[in-house]
Chain A
Amino acid sequence: MNRFAVPMAVFAALVVVLAIGIRHSPQKGIIISPLIGKPAPLFSLPSLNDPAHAVASGDLKGRWYLLNVWGTWCVGCRAEHQMLLEARDAHALPLIGLDWKDDDARARQWLAQFGNPYEAIALDHSGRTAVDFGVYGAPETFLINAQGIVVYKYVGPLTRDVWTQEILPRLPGHAGGSS
C-alpha cells in the first residue's frame, strides 16, 4: 500500500465510528431533552376541576403518568385531542394535563365540548412550570415513571404510532400495543 492511501484508510475508520454514532443517537424526531433520565421538575399548581386541592408532583409519585402540555389557544392540541381520549380509554396510565397560559373558563368549555382525557389538570397561568420542563411549544408530552424520572418526551401532537411504539412499550409489564 502506498503512503498516499493512508488518508483513505483513516477516513474509512472514521466513517465506521460515525456510523456507530448515528445508530446510537437518540430517536428520530425528539428534540433532545436534558431532562430525560433525570427527575421531573417539581410543581404544585391549582387544579382546574377541584379548586380546593392542588395538583402536585409529590402526590403523583408512585405511579407512571403522562404529562401533557396543552392550551385552548393551541391548534396542535386540538389535533391530538382524539388520541388523548383513546389513550384515556386504554387505561394504561393516567394523563395529567398542564394547561399552559390559558383562560380557565375557556379550558372548561373546551373539555365540555371535546371530552376530558385527563385525570387532573394543573393550571400553569404564569408559564413557570412549562419553563422548568423546557417546553418549546405546545403540545408536548412527557412520560414520567413511578420514581418521578422523565423517561420520554415527545414534541408535537401525539399520534397513534407514538402511543403504541414509544409510550406503551416503555411501561412496566406491557408487552406491546393495545389501543
Chain B
Amino acid sequence: MLPELGQFALILALLLAGMQAFFGIAGPLLGRDRWIAAVTPAVAGQSVMVALAVGCLIASFVSNDFSVSYVAGNSNSALPLFYRVAALWGAHEGSLLLWILLLAAWTVAVAIGSARLPPRFAARVLGVLGVVSFGFLLFTLATSNPFARLDPPMPDGRDLNPILQDPALAIHPPILYTGYVGFAVAFAFACAAMLEGRLDATWARWTRPWTTAAWAFLTCGIALGSFWAYYELGWGGFWFWDPVENASFMPWLVGTALVHSLAVTEKRGLFKSWTLLLAILTFSLSMLGTFLVRSGVLVSVHSFAADPARGIFILAFLVIMIGGALTLYAWRAPLLKSSAGFELGARESFLLFNNVLLITAATTVFAGTMAPLISDALKLGTVSVGPPYFNPTFLLSMLPLAALLSVGIHSNWKRGRLKDSQRMLLITLLAAAVLACALVYGIYQHGLVLTPVGALLGIWIILSSFVEPLSRWRRGLRVPRGMLGMTIAHSGLGVLVIALTTVQSFTLEHDVALAPGATTTVGSYLFRFDGVQAIEGPNYDGIGATVTVTRGGAPVAVFKPQKRQYWVQHQLTSETAIRMDHGNNIFVALGEDLGAGRWSLRVQIRPLVSFIWLAALIMAIGGAVAASDRRYRNSKVTEAAVPGAAAGSAA
C-alpha cells in the first residue's frame, strides 16, 4: 500500500510543480496578481508531496518490503538500519528522488526567504525552480520509477552495493546533491533577472547568500567523496580525475568563479552579463554531471547502472533548460550595460583574472572529461586522458591563481593604487618565504622543483587573507561576517595548497610481500606483518590482517586492514587501515594471498594528507559564515543604485 501512496504523491507533486512553473512564469508576464499569489501554495503542496513520497520509500526500506523492486535491488534483511535508510540513494531511482527532495527543500527555503523580495520577481524565481522540479519529477516517473513492484516478490534483497556500505559514503550523496541542487537557485535568480530585463546590485545581494551556501555544500560533498575514495577504494589516492569526480569538480570551479563575480556585481555593478552566464553555466554543469553519471555515455568506477533511454531524456531536458536559458541570455544580456570602469590593479581586475583562470581550469577539466566521448563520436578510436593530462594543465591555471590571490587581497576597489599596500605585500611575502623554507628544507629535507613554490604560495595566501580583518580589528572596527567568511575560506585554500604540495612531494609508497613475522621499513617507520585471521560482520565475512607499526622502537599503532566479502552480492571490498602519526598519514591495505601465509601489502605514508580534507572543510565553513552575513537578511527592498566605491569593503 505504501509504495502506491508514494507513487501517487509523486504524481501529485508533478502536477503541483507544473502549476508552480506555469503561475510563476506566466503570472508576472501577463500581470495577473492572483496567479502570482498561487505560486507559494503550489510550492508548499509540491514539497509536502515530495516529502511524503520519500517517506513512503524509506518506510519500504525500513520494513524490508522486497516486493518493491528498488528495495529488493538495494537492500537486504541483514543490512543494518542505518544503511537501509541510506540505501534510499544507493542507486539511480532513489538518487533522483533525493535530488527532487533537496530541490523542494531549497525551493521552500527560497519561498520563505523571498518574502521581502518584490512579489513579481519572487514568483519568477519560484517559477523557474518549478520548471526544474517538473523536469526531474517527469524524468523519475517516466523512466525511473522507484516504486515499481516485483511479482513475485523476492524472499530477500540483493543488498546495498557493498562499496556504499560506509558511513562517509552514506552521507556523501545528500551533501553533494545539496550543493548541486543549490546552484538551481542561482540559476533561477539569473533567469528571473533576464525575464525582468533588469539586474542591479540588489539582485546580486539577493543571489549571493544562496550561491555561497550551495558552494559550501558542494565543497563539503567533493571533500567527502575524495575522503571516501582514499580509504575505501584502497587505491591510495585522494583524487583520480575520474569522470564522476570531474562532474562534481567542474560546477565547483565555475561556482567559485560565480561567487567572486557576484561580489563584483554587488559592490561595483560590473560583470553583469558575465555573472548571469556563470550562474547558467554552474547549474548546467551540475545537470551535465547528472547526465554523464546516469546516461552511460562515460564509463567510470562510480556508475553502477546506466541506461541510454534515460540519457536521451536528460539530454532533451538539458536542451530545454540550458538551451532556453542561453537563448534568453542571447536576447536579454545585451540590455545590461555596466557604466562604471576600473583601473588595472584594482580589485576588479584581480577578480577578473580569478574568473578567467577558474574558467580556464574548468575548461581543461571539461576537455579532458569529454575527450574520450568526442574522439569516439568522431570515430578516432577510444582515447582516455588521465592524470598525465590533468595534473599539469590544471596546475598551469591554478599556480597563477594562487599567486594573484595574495596580491589581489591587498588591492582596493576601483583604483589600481597597489602602492598603498606595497609594504604589507612585501612583509607577507617575506614571512611566507621564510616559513616555506623552514617547512620544505627544515622538516622534510628534500623536494621537487615546485615544492618550495607551492609551500610559499600556500603560506602567503593564509598570511594575506588575515591582513584586512586584523587591521580592522586593530582599529576597533567590526569585522562583518562576509569578510570573516572570506578570510576563513581563503586560508582554507592556503592550507589546501600546502597540503597538496607536501603530499605530492613527500609521499612514500611501497608494495611489499610479507610472510608472518617479517618486517619492512618505509620512511622512519617499521612495519611487522603478524598474519591474518578470519573475521565476520553482520552481512559479510572476510580476512583481517594485523600489522604492528613502530617508529624508532616506540610503538605507533596496530593496523588491522581487512578484505571483506559481502554475502549477497559476493563483492570484495578492501578496508584500509589508516592512522595519523606526527602529521603523517599512514595507510596499510591488504592485497592478495600469495600462498604459504605470504600476503602482499600496500604501505603508504602521506604527510599532511588529512589537511586536504580539513582544508576543504575550512573553505566550506568560510562559505557558511559568509552566507550568514546579516547584510543579506536585513536588506529591505530598495531600488538601491550601485553603491559607490565603499572604502576597503569586503568582497
Query: B329, A25: Cβ atoms under 8 Å?
Result: no
Binary B-proximity of A18-61 (CB < 8 A = 1, otherwise 0)? 11111011111101100000000000000000000000000000
Interface of A is mostly: helix
Tell me, in angstroms, the Cα distance from A115 to B221 when the chains sit together.
52
| Chain A residue contacts of B417, Cβ below 8 A | none
Residue of B nearest to A26 (CB): B296
Known A21-B297, A21-B377, A136-B569; contact A28-B308, beta-carbon cutoff 8 A:
yes
For the complex, give the distance between the alpha carbons of A128 and B240 in Å.
29
B315 contacts A22, CB within 8 Å? yes
CB distance from A128 to the nearest CB of B (A): 10
A113 at the interface (CB under 8 A from B): no
Asked whether, in the complex, the Cβ of A2 is within 8 Å of the Cβ of B334, the reply is yes
Q: Which of B291-332 contact A (CB under 8 A)?
A: 291, 295-297, 299, 304-309, 311-312, 315, 318-319, 322-323, 326-327, 329-330
A4 and B295 within 8 A (CB): no
Complex CA distance for A75 and B67, rounded to whole angstroms: 13
| Chain B contact residues, majority secondary structure | helix
Report the nearest A residue to B161, measured CB to CB. A136
Contacts known (A25-B311, A130-B570); A15 close to B152, Cβ less than 8 A: no
- Bitwise, B515-534 to A at CB < 8 A (1) or not (0) is 00000000000000000000
Contact between chains at B373 and A17 (CB < 8 Å): yes
A133 smallest CB distance to B (angstroms) = 11
Alpha-carbon separation in the docked complex, A48 to B519 (Å): 45
Q: How many residues of B contact A (CB 8 A)?
A: 44
Interface centre among A22, A24, A26, by most chain B C-beta atoms within 10 angstroms, is A22
Which residues does chain B contribute within 8 Å of A130, judged by CB atoms? 570
Least CB separation from A130: chain B residue: B570
Nearest A residue to B336 via CB reads A4
Shortest CB–CB separation between residue B567 and chain A, in angstroms? 9
**Complex Cα distance A8/B325, Å?**
9
User: What is the chain A residue whose CB lies nearest that of B370?
Assistant: A17
**Is A7 located at the chain interface by the 8 A CB criterion?**
yes
Q: Does B509 contact A (CB under 8 A)?
A: no
Contacts of B346 in A (CB 8 A): none
The residues in B between 371 and 394 inclusive whose CB is less than 8 angstroms from any CB of A are 373-374, 376-377
Q: Which residues of B contact A27 (CB under 8 A)?
A: 308
Q: Tell me whether A25 and B273 are in contact in the complex, defined as CB-CB below 8 angstroms, given that A20-B377, A130-B570 are known contacts.
A: no
Q: For residue A18, which residue of chain B has the nearest CB?
A: B315
State whether A4 touches B330 (Cβ < 8 A).
yes
The residues of B that contact A7 with a CB separation of less than 8 Å are 277, 280-281, 326, 329-330
A25 neighbours in B (Cβ, 8 Å): 295-297, 306, 308, 311
- Interface status of A5 (Cβ within 8 A of chain B): yes
Q: Closest A-chain residue to B377, C-beta based?
A: A20
Contact B377 A137 (CB under 8 A): no
> Would you call B377 and A32 a contact (CB within 8 A)?
no
B280 — which chain A residues lie within 8 A by C-beta? 7
- B residues 247-297 touching A (CB-CB < 8 Å): 273, 277, 280-281, 284, 291, 295-297
* Interface check A176, CB cutoff 8 A: no
Q: Do B307 and A22 have beta carbons less than 8 Å apart?
A: no
Contacts of B299 in A (CB 8 A): 32
Task: Give the residues in chain B near A31, CB-CB below 8 Å.
Answer: 304-306
Which residues from B are CB-within-8-Å of A127? 565, 570
B376 and A8 contact, CB distance less than 8 A:
no
Whether the Cβ atoms of A5 and B330 lie closer than 8 Å is: yes
A135 on interface, CB distance cutoff 8 Å: yes
The CA of A22 and the CA of B152, in the complex, are separated in Å by: 33
Interface string of A142-174 (1 = CB under 8 A from B): 000000000000000000000000000000000
Interface core residue of B295, B297, B318, B327 (most chain A CB under 10 Å): B297
Verify A18–B297 contact, CB threshold 8 A.
Answer: yes
Minimum Cβ distance to chain A for residue B218 (Å) = 22
- Taking CB atoms, residues of chain A closer than 8 Å to B155 are 75
Does A105 reach chain B (CB closer than 8 Å)? no
Structural contact, B311 and A131, CB atoms closer than 8 A: no
B570 A135 Cβ-Cβ under 8 A:
yes
Instruction: Chain A residues near B308: list those with CB within 8 A.
Output: 22, 25, 27-28
Most buried by B among A7, A12, A15: A7
List 19 A-B pairs, Cβ < 8 Å. A2-B330, A4-B330, A4-B334, A5-B330, A12-B323, A18-B291, A20-B377, A21-B373, A21-B377, A22-B295, A22-B297, A22-B308, A22-B312, A22-B315, A24-B376, A24-B377, A28-B307, A101-B570, A136-B571
Apart from A4-B330, A22-B295, A135-B570, list 4 A-B contacts with CB within 8 A: A7-B277, A11-B284, A18-B318, A137-B568
Q: Which residues of B contact A (CB under 8 A)?
A: 152, 154-155, 158, 273, 277, 280-281, 284, 291, 295-297, 299, 304-309, 311-312, 315, 318-319, 322-323, 326-327, 329-330, 333-334, 370, 373-374, 376-377, 565, 568-572
